[in-house]
Structure 1
Amino acid sequence: MNKRSPFATAVLAFLLALSHGVAVALTLPKESAVPGGVVIIELAADSAGERPRAHYNKKPLLVVNKEGRWLAVVGIPLTATVGEHKIEQQHASGKMITHRFKVKDKAYKTQRLTVTNKRKVNPYAEDMARIIAEKKRTQQTLAHWDPRNVNKLVFTAPVEGRQSSSFGLRRIFNGQPRKPHSGMDIAAPTGTPVFTPIAGTVTNTGDYFFNGNSVFIDHGQGLVTMYLHLDSIQVKEGDELKQGDLLGTVGATGRVTGPHLHWGISLNDARVDPALFLTEQ
Structure 2
Amino acid sequence: MRNKRLIAVLLIGALVLLGAVAAAYATTSVRTGEAAAVIFAGQEVQPVESVFSEPLPGGLLSKRVVQDSADSASDLGLLTVATLPLKIDAYGQETSSASTEVRGEVLLTLWLDDEEVFSGTPEEYEKFRFSENGLYRAALKIERPGDELMSRAVFNYGMSFELDVQPIVLFSSDRARQGDILSVYVNRGFAAEAPEIETELGTAIFLPLSSDEYIAYIPINYAQTLGKWMIDVSVGGEAYEQGIIVTGRTYKEQHMTISQATTDATMNNPDGPKNWAERIKVLWETYDVEKYWDEAFIRPCDGRISTEFGLYRYTNKNPVPTRHTGIDIAAPAGTPVLASNSGRVVRAEDIIYTGNTVVLEHGGGLKTYYFHMETMEVKEGDLIGRGTVLGTVGSTGYSTGAHLHFEVKIGSHSLSPWELFDGTSELYFDVGF
Q: By the TM > 0.5 criterion, same fold?
A: yes
Give the root-mean-square deviation of aligned CA atoms. 3.1
Q: Is 1:141 aligned to 2:283, yes or no?
A: yes
- Of 241, 244, 253, 1:110 maps to 253
Partner of 2:362: 219
Instruction: Give matches, 1:256-275, under 5 Å.
Output: 256-275=399-418
Q: Which runs of 5+ in 2 are unaligned?
A: 1-93, 95-171, 424-433
Q: Is 1:75 aligned to 2:240, yes or no?
A: no
- Of 126, 151, 168, 2:310 maps to 168
Partner of 1:53: 196
The superposition leaves residues 88-137 of structure 1 with CA deviations (integer Å, 9 ceiling, x where unpaired) of 212132x4432210111223111111112455279686x22332332343
Change (3 A) 1:90 1:133: farther
Moved more, 237-246 or 40-49: 40-49
Please state how far the C-alpha of 1:217 moved relative to its aligned partner: 0.7
In 1, are the aligned partners of 2:208 and 2:289 still within 8 Å (CA)? no
Which residue identity is paired with 1:145?
Y
Aligned equivalents of 2:280, 2:257: Cα separation in 1: 26
Aligned equivalents of 2:270, 2:175: Cα separation in 1: 36
Change (3 A) 1:121 1:270: farther
Aligned equivalents of 1:36, 1:163: Cα separation in 2: 18
Aligned equivalents of 2:379, 2:285: Cα separation in 1: 20
In 1, are the aligned partners of 2:308 and 2:326 still within 8 Å (CA)? yes
Change (3 A) 1:49 1:111: farther
**RCO higher in structure (CA 8 A, sep ≥6):** 1
In 1, are the aligned partners of 2:225 and 2:246 still within 8 Å (CA)? yes
Q: Is 1:189 aligned to 2:332, yes or no?
A: yes
Moved more, 81-90 or 170-179: 170-179
In 2, are the aligned partners of 1:198 and 1:244 still within 8 Å (CA)? yes
Aligned equivalents of 1:185, 1:124: Cα separation in 2: 18
Instruction: Give matches, 1:1-150, under 5 Å.
Output: 33-41=176-184, 45-48=188-191, 52-57=195-200, 59-61=203-205, 72-93=216-237, 95-120=238-263, 127-150=269-292
Using structure 1 for the length normalisation, give the TM-score: 0.77
In 2, are the aligned partners of 1:62 and 1:223 still within 8 Å (CA)? no
The superposition leaves residues 132-175 of structure 1 with CA deviations (integer Å, 9 ceiling, x where unpaired) of 33234312113212110354362221112122211100111111
Give me the identity figure in percent.
Answer: 28
In 2, are the aligned partners of 1:222 and 1:269 still within 8 Å (CA)? no
Aligned equivalents of 1:71, 1:124: Cα separation in 2: 38
The superposition leaves residues 227-257 of structure 1 with CA deviations (integer Å, 9 ceiling, x where unpaired) of 0010111111111111221111000111122
Aligned equivalents of 1:84, 1:175: Cα separation in 2: 36
Which residue identity is paired with 2:227?
G
Partner of 1:207: 350
Aligned equivalents of 1:32, 1:274: Cα separation in 2: 18
Change (3 A) 1:122 1:97: farther
In 2, are the aligned partners of 1:53 and 1:63 still within 8 Å (CA)? no
In 2, are the aligned partners of 1:61 and 1:221 still within 8 Å (CA)? yes
Q: Does the residue aligned with 1:152 lie in a helix, a strand or coil?
A: coil
Aligned equivalents of 2:184, 2:239: Cα separation in 1: 15
In 1, are the aligned partners of 2:393 and 2:403 still within 8 Å (CA)? yes
Which residue identity is paired with 2:288?
D
Aligned equivalents of 1:154, 1:169: Cα separation in 2: 25
Aligned equivalents of 1:31, 1:119: Cα separation in 2: 45
Aligned residues: 250
Aligned equivalents of 1:101, 1:124: Cα separation in 2: 37
Partner of 1:233: 376
Please state how far the C-alpha of 1:86 moved relative to its aligned partner: 1.4
Change (3 A) 1:96 1:262: same
Which residue identity is paired with 2:272?
R
Aligned equivalents of 1:188, 1:30: Cα separation in 2: 36
Which residue identity is paired with 1:179?
T
Moved more, 48-57 or 214-223: 48-57
Aligned equivalents of 1:186, 1:32: Cα separation in 2: 29
In 2, are the aligned partners of 1:31 and 1:38 still within 8 Å (CA)? no
Q: Does the residue aligned with 1:135 lie in a helix, a strand or coil?
A: helix
Moved more, 261-270 or 115-124: 115-124
In 1, are the aligned partners of 2:298 and 2:340 still within 8 Å (CA)? yes
